[in-house]
Structure 1
Amino acid sequence: MSTLPALEDTVRNTCCFSDANFTRMLSMMTEIKMPAGSHLFWEGDAADRFYYIYSGCVKLSKSSVEGKELIVYMYTSGDIVGQADPIGSRTHSYTAEVLEDSVVGVIDQQDMEFLICQDGAFAMDFMKWMGNHHRLTQTKFRDLMMYGKPGALCSTLIRLGNTYGEHTGGRIIIHKKLTNTDLSNLIGATRESVNRMLGDLRKCGAVDIVDGLIVINDISHLQGICHCEHCPKEICRI
């Protein structure tokens, strides 16, 4: 039996679904607990479910045959995870790994399609979610491809600041411990390149490392390197 929390106790995706439509979607979900290291799905699995993250963190990644990993998204509380694919075999293109103990709501794609067909307002909200997700993907690949690895790293640091950052004293403390290997997987670079680029940013005072956490001292410097277009925070996130 699902023990879904009340709407006021959840973290919701405020930019997409209305309260009424969000409640309807939650009412059809089954709540599951996922331990760190487990997977929501693997690349190639049937894309027949959507997931809502109540708490925790889920990494969506793509791996090459050589074993190199590219982290595409890091989903957190309030995010919806799933692949809406009306054409083709409906298989996942990525792997979703649970990074920390998480609570996730699950809804079958058939139930989601029922809600979409039943109510035009719900369908519009779903389209907003899809559009928002596509725009997030487009801006990420723009940053990865157009301004080199330094631009990709600076963009990623800004996105991390928007997702996990705490603004204090003119600085942004990113409350998510990431290794240089994690950062390299986020931008498709080598760990050695990330070491060097972070060193350059620390030398000029733009960033610092305090107790294992990345601190952004001068976000305008990072914005200049990645040619920041000042996207809204629901788009400029990790």
Structure 2
Amino acid sequence: MLENRCINNDHLIYNSFLFSQENMDRLKDLMIDEELAKDSYLFNEGDKSDSLYFIKDGAVKLTRVTDDGKDLTLYYYQTGDIFGDFGDTPTLYQTYSAIATCDCKIGVLNRRDLEIAIWQNSDLGIDFINWVSHMNRFTQLKLRDLMFFGKLGALASTLIRIANTFGQEKENAIYIYEKFTNHELASMIGATRETVNRMLSQLKKDDIIHYENGKLVILDIGYLRQICHCEGCPRHICRL
């Protein structure tokens, strides 16, 4: 399962590509390395947010508990991703908990150090603005898909994002090379496992998906796109 091992594939999409190599080198020079064991918390919801995080090796998921007690997992970040809440006030607090899905090496970027680097290098500031804009759009579209098109639309959107992130196209189908449990899918859309079971069973009955060796195969991604009113966003936006 995704939560039990690191993701290691050259085709995965990451968000640090928005920074030039020169600026990534500048950021790496500022980072303090932190080792994180599998299932450990990098931070908890409510902790003070004064850093950004770069995954040098490993994978991290961001989760929170809803008011009705459901676990909601909105983000999976992997090697090459930069993430973190970084607002306009030093008293900003984390809105999620970050949990390592495997042993990780994390580069921690202190807010003050980053501010000085941006002040000294205007091109780094431009790259940072691009990264913030990208993350805002990424979040807005994901929340839209979860909120506006019902549970089936949320599931369809999530399956498309999984296909873009972990899929391989072959013989007019998309084979997902990572295994996702129904419980994991339920936590991504804020639904119960029973609800996800019913929706997946119907999609399988309608020949939209099927399973091979316990892994998902998407037979008709066009149908899924219709359900969630897909706008055809690029893969670096439409990812898990």
- TM-score higher than 0.5: yes
Given candidates 204, 220, 223, the residue that maps to 1:221 is: 223
Q: Is the 8 A contact 1:61 1:73 kept in 2?
A: yes
The runs of 5 or more residues in structure 2 that have no matched partner are 1-12
Q: Once the 2 structures are TM-superposed, how far is the Cα of residue 125 of structure 1 from its aligned partner?
A: 0.5
1:26 — aligned with what? 28
Which stretch shows the higher mean deviation, 166-175 or 224-233? 166-175
Q: Is the 8 A contact 2:31 2:109 kept in 1?
A: yes
2:8 — aligned with what? none
1:65–1:220 CA distance, 2 compared to 1 (3 A): closer
Q: Once the 2 structures are TM-superposed, how far is the Cα of residue 137 of structure 1 from its aligned partner?
A: 0.6
- Secondary structure, in 3 states, of the residue corresponding to 2:101? strand
Given candidates 79, 82, 85, the residue that maps to 1:80 is: 82
- Secondary structure, in 3 states, of the residue corresponding to 1:100? coil
Which protein, 1 or 2, shows the higher relative CO under an 8 Å CA cutoff with sep ≥ 6? Answer: 2
Identity of aligned residues (%): 42
1:94–1:105 CA distance, 2 compared to 1 (3 A): same
Q: Is the 8 A contact 1:15 1:234 kept in 2?
A: no
The runs of 5 or more residues in structure 1 that have no matched partner are 1-10
Residues 22-42 of structure 1 deviation map (CA, whole Å, 9 limit, x = unaligned): 111112112333211001100
1:63–1:134 CA distance, 2 compared to 1 (3 A): same
Residues 201-231 of structure 1 deviation map (CA, whole Å, 9 limit, x = unaligned): 1111111122221111111111111111000
The amino acid that maps onto 1:117 is W
Question: 1:108-187 counterparts in 2 under 5 A?
Answer: 108-187=110-189
TM-score normalised to structure 1 length: 0.90
The amino acid that maps onto 2:59 is C
1:70 — aligned with what? 72
Q: Say what the alpha-carbon RMSD is for the aligned residues.
A: 1.6
- Equivalents in 2 of 1:159, 1:132: separation in Å? 16
Q: Is the 8 A contact 1:164 1:176 kept in 2?
A: yes
- Equivalents in 1 of 2:137, 2:81: separation in Å? 15
- Equivalents in 1 of 2:173, 2:79: separation in Å? 24
